[in-house]
Amino acid sequence: GDSVTQMEGPVTLSEEAFLTINCTYTATGYPSLFWYVQYPGEGLQLLLKATKADDKGSNKGFEATYRKETTSFHLEKGSVQVSDSAVYFCALRANAGKSTFGDGTTLTVKP
C-alpha cells in the first residue's frame, strides 16, 4: 500500500537558520503530495502542495519540489522564524481520494 516516511524529529533550530525536512513516499499511480502544518491545540492546515512531477509548491517562504525519480518531496525554508515552530506532516493523496500521512516532524525555533 501507499506510505510516507518523514525525517524523524524533533528538530531544533536557531532563528534565521535553514530548514530541511525530508519526506519520501511509496505509491502506485500518480499521487498528489502535500505538506500540512499543525500548531499546538489546532487541526492540520495546508502549507503547500504539488500535483505532478517537477511541480514546486510554495507558501510563506516554504518550498517543496515533487521529485518522481527519487520519490521525494522535501520541505525547505531559507530562514526560519520562531513563529514557524509547529508539527509538519508530509502526505500523499492517491486517485481513490484517500490520504496517507507521515508521522510528523516537530520543529522548534529558538530566538
**Could you list the residues that contact another protein (CB under 8 A)?**
30-32, 34, 36, 41-46, 49, 51, 89, 93-95, 97-99, 101-104
User: Closest approach of Cβ 98 to another protein, in Å?
Assistant: 7
User: Closest approach of Cβ 75 to another protein, in Å?
Assistant: 15
CA distances from 39 to 8, 43, 44, 62, 110 (A): 18, 7, 8, 16, 16
Contact by Cβ (8 Å): 92, 35: no
C-alpha span between 84 and 77 (Å, rounded)? 10
The residue (of 36 and 62) whose beta carbon lies closer to another protein is: 36
The residue (of 7 and 17) whose beta carbon lies closer to another protein is: 7
